Structure formats: C-alpha cells, structure tokens
C-alpha cells in the first residue's frame, strides 16, 4: 500500500477591498493577445510608468493611478509600447494598435488584481527571520493574492493573506554556485533552482543558461533597474566568463 500525501493546510484571512474614486483607464491591443503576452506587457508598462499599476485580464489592460497622477495620454502609451518593442526582441516583430475604453468599468476580479499589484510594488509585508545558522535561514513570510468574496449577494474585490515559513540559503547565487561540489556542470547545479531577487523580493526559477556575462553584459545593464544588480554587472565585479 502507498500512502496518499496530505496537502498542506494554510490558515488565511480574506479582506474585502474598497477602492473609492479610482483613477482608472482601460484599453486593448489589436490584434488580440494571449495571457502570457498580456502579463509580460503589463510588467513592462509598470516599469515604464512606475507611478501606475497595470494588469491584464481577459483581453483588456487596466491601469490604476493615484488621484494626483494624471493618466498618460494615448500618445505616451503609443511611444512607450514602441520603446518596449525595441528593447524586447520577442515583441519587435509585432504590430499592435490601441483601442481605448471610453468608460472603463472594472470587475471585482480586476480591482483585486490591481490592489495586489500595489501591495507587491510597495512591499508592506517584509520577511521575519526566525532562525539563522551559518548559511541557512528560516524566514516567515506573508503570502497574498487577489480574490473575490460574495457579501450580501454581491461580488466584492478582496485579497487573501496567509503566513508561510521557509528555509533559504542566505548567500548569493554566485556564492552558492562557486562553493557547490558540482560547479563544473552549471546546468545540473542551476537549472530548476528557485532564486529570489535581493532588491525586489520577487522569486523565480532558473530555466536555462543563456551564455556568459561577457556575451550579454550590455543588454543586462540596460535592463538592470536595481543598484545592487548594476554594480554586480560591472566588469571589475563580474568577469566576462
């Protein structure tokens, strides 16, 4: 007989949201794009307009700004999209045009997504260290995501908050690789490894090795937004190989 694994159980809270007088706009791109492209473009739009949050949902882009921040004009959006296409090779061959939504009415799902993007940008929940032993740390982190909740028969935007503890290596990826016994085979050591951005706190998984720093240094420097990353990419700090 084989035992059936028991899924982890999380205690969480669901918080309804109220966004009063939202400074919103909405648009779609034609030809219509898929979710993956929509999410990637939302990321780049947020980088180009750091005072805004942008999300993609069911074919539409939704933009939320503060009451004191004027939403960029159609000309600005067009120019920024061209700029993104020049920087991102995957988008360079695409020909998109904007279709503006005159009176944007976001769904509760959209409002919840925008609120969670604000939380991810402002990072109000910082990890709490529980244990540190040599190069290993145990951190308690807040996890949250967009949700909707039905109250009085009406669907409302909300977000879910839960607490999770995890064990992490406290050094940098470079230190981890340099001291690994199998460092002669970087694909075995690095591909599939979970990593976290020191500056933004965002997490990712290493999918492939594109080459050496020397081959991609200039492109990496153009895309680097954090001071730690920019400093690490300098020739005197990271050799070409």
Residue 198: per-residue pLDDT: 78
Residue 43 to residue 63: CA distance in whole angstroms: 12
Q: Are 53 and 121 in contact (CB under 8 A)?
A: yes
Q: In angstroms, what CA-CA distances link 177 with 49, 173, 183?
A: 35, 6, 6
Domain ranges of the chain: 15-122, 128-147+164-232
56 pairs with which residues across the strands? 61
Domain 15-122 has CATH 3.40.50: no
Q: pLDDT tens digits for 134-161?
A: 777 888 888 889 999 998 899 999 999 8
29 pairs with which residues across the strands? 98
Residue 4: per-residue pLDDT: 67
Residue 62 to residue 68: CA distance in whole angstroms: 18
Residue 139: per-residue pLDDT: 83
Is the link from the previous residue into 30 a cis peptide, with omega within 30 of 0? Answer: no
Residue 11: per-residue pLDDT: 64
Question: Which residues of the chain are under the pLDDT cut of 70?
Answer: 1-4, 9-12
Residue 151 to residue 156: CA distance in whole angstroms: 7
Number of H helices, E strands in the chain: 7, 10
Strand-by-strand arrangement of the 60-65 sheet = 52-57, 60-65, 23-30, 97-100
DSSP H or E run through 151: strand 136-151
* Cα 1 from chain centre: 42
């Amino acid at each position: 007989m084989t035992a059936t694994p028991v899924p982890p159980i999380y205690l969480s809270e669901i918080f309804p949201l109220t966004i009063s007088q939202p400074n919103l706009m909405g648009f779609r791109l034609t030809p219509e794009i898929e979710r993956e492209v929509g999410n990637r473009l939302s990321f780049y739009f947020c980088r180009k307009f750091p005072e805004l949050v942008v999300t993609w949902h069911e074919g539409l882009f939704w933009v939320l700004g503060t009451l004191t921040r004027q939403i960029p004009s159609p000309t600005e959006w067009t120019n920024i999209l061209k700029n993104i296409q020049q920087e991102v090779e995957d988008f360079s061959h695409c020909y998109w045009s904007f279709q503006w939504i005159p009176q944007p009415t976001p769904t509760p799902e959209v409002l919840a997504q925008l609120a969670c993007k604000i939380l991810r940008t402002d990072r109000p929940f910082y990890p709490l260290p529980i244990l540190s032993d040599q190069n290993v740390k145990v951190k308690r982190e807040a996890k949250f995501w967009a949700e909707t909740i039905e109250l009085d028969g009406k669907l409302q935007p909300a977000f879910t908050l839960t607490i999770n503890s995890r064990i992490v290596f406290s050094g940098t990826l470079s230190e981890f690789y340099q001291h690994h016994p199998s460092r002669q085979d970087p694909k075995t050591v690095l591909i599939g490894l979970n990593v976290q951005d020191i500056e933004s706190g965002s997490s990712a998984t290493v999918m492939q090795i594109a080459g050496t720093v020397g081959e991609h240094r200039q492109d990496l420097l153009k895309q680097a937004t954090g001071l730690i990353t920019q400093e690490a990419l300098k020739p005197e700090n990271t050799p070409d190989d």
